[in-house]
Amino acid sequence: MTEVCNYLKMSVRGSITDMINKQQTSLFSQSRTSLNRNKIRISRTMGGTASGINVSVVNETPYTWYFATQDRGYTRIGPNCRTSYEEARADACIRIRYGNQSKDSFSYGFNTDKDDTSFILRENKDRSQIQMHCTSTDKDCFCPIPG
């Protein structure tokens, strides 16, 4: 009987110890994740180079567009294509132009303290304008159909 009682005590102690260790590991992991998020936010605020948000450019039109950010030249995005890049700046700006035109069709400033964002290019319903929709601000800009 004593052996059974000792066995049960050891089993209970082992189970409780396992539960405590798992909980501590989980809490440590959550704290580390939270610290990393804060480090990225602080780095962005201070102009650091921590990885930033993912920005997608989605072209739902039959036209070829080019987009540029502060850090890089123009990148081509073909008809009905999607591409993305990582933006680490706190206050970012994207410029979008049609084909080989020298003037930008859209120029849009946005803040990266929100989640990932997308810029969606599409024709409006009557196909008289191109709509650029920013998902993080839920705002639309318009320009005439290229021609």
Kindly state whether residues 113 and 64 are assigned to the same domain: yes
* pLDDT tops 70 at residue 93: yes
Q: Tell me the average pLDDT across 80-106.
A: 92
Kindly state whether residues 31 and 75 are assigned to the same domain: no
Kindly state whether residues 67 and 41 are assigned to the same domain: no
Kindly state whether residues 105 and 85 are assigned to the same domain: yes
Q: How many domains does the chain have?
A: 2
Q: What is the pLDDT of residue 139?
A: 94
* pLDDT tops 70 at residue 42: no
pTM of model > 0.75:
no
Kindly state whether residues 24 and 62 are assigned to the same domain: no
Kindly state whether residues 85 and 27 are assigned to the same domain: no
Residue reference for tokens 């809490």:
27
The residue ranges of DSSP E strands in the chain, in sequence order, are: 53-59, 65-69, 72-77, 81-87, 91-98, 106-111, 117-123, 129-134, 139-144
